[in-house]
Amino acid sequence: MMQKTTFILAGGFVLLWNSGFIGADFGLNYSGPFTLLFWRYLAVTLVIFFYLLARKRFRWVGWKVAAPNMLIGVLAHGVWLACVLLALDYQVPAGVVALVVALQPLATAAFSGLVAGEKTNFYQWLGVVIGFFGVALTVTSRMDFGSYSSVFGYLIPLGSVIGITAASLIQRRMEVNKGANKLPVDLALFYQSLATTFALFLPAIFLEELSTQWEAEFIYTMLWLILAVSLGAYGLMWLLIERIDATRVASLFYLGPPVTMFMAWVAFGDKVQMMDVAGLIIVFAGVLLSQFNKKESLIK
């Protein structure tokens, strides 16, 4: 019974999390990337704030603890999602964006040795190289090298990889240091969302003037991104971590590219090209290779 429940939770997480790419792509018809994210994280911050107040869990933790958690928020939410939305705004297919972002767990595993003092083996580095080659194969096959906007658009998701990898390494260092500056999940998410909201305010104001078409479709899209993706998927992830080990939860992110490509095909008619499939296979091979010589394997 527990395995069936875990399977349902995992399936729900994968669908909700990757629907964020589709929802963001749809929402860009009504506002700019920074504005969409600003409204989204302002709402998420308020929801969590009132939740914490109702549960009598809200408290100021001091800058020494708040600052690293806020930095994680700006990198893991602000930089990551801003680069994703900017790429979508440059007409990069959602599935390709998801494929590039899938490099993050590989990069985190490889660089954790430099930051958290954990051993990084040869297979992990080789997995990163192979994974990067798979992404490069897909991206270069779609990129129009005669167009600056095309080249720039397809390179933007690398900023997402850098941002969320840096956030993951900071988080991992906190874990290794016996939970220093670590907060409960709901309180940590509040400080992360608050910092992300402030970080997005200036570009949303000065670059996009908070221009928003408040039509019903946009409101429905925002509700989905706030409730289903930012809160629902995140909640399911922590429920899964309580049931199975973190390595197996992390492996679910590798389902992102194929699931997103399928959703984009259904929602927008995005066509999957042969090089997209080749890139997926190569990235997955890199993922499997990076798990060699590890106590925990993605496949159990």
Can you give the pLDDT of all 300 residues of the chain as single tens digits?
457 777 788 888 889 988 999 999 999 999 999 999 999 999 999 999 999 999 999 999 999 899 999 999 999 899 999 999 999 999 999 988 988 887 777 777 667 666 655 566 777 677 778 877 888 888 888 888 888 888 899 999 999 989 988 888 887 777 666 656 678 888 989 999 999 999 999 999 999 999 999 999 999 999 999 999 988 888 887 777 667 655 566 667 777 888 888 888 888 888 888 888 888 888 778 777 766 654 444 333
pTM, 2 dp: 0.85
Q: How far apart (Å, rounded) are the C-alpha atoms in residues 278 and 126?
A: 18
pLDDT (tens digit, 9 = 90+) per residue, 87-139? 999 999 998 898 888 777 777 766 766 665 556 677 767 777 887 788 888 88
Given the structure tokens 């090209």, which residue do they identify?
A: 273
Which DSSP symbol is given to 214? -
- Could you tell me which of 183, 172, 185, 291 has the C-alpha nearest to residue 236? 185
Q: Which of 146, 165, 159 is nearest to 33 (CA)?
A: 159
**What are the beta bridge partners of residue 31?**
212
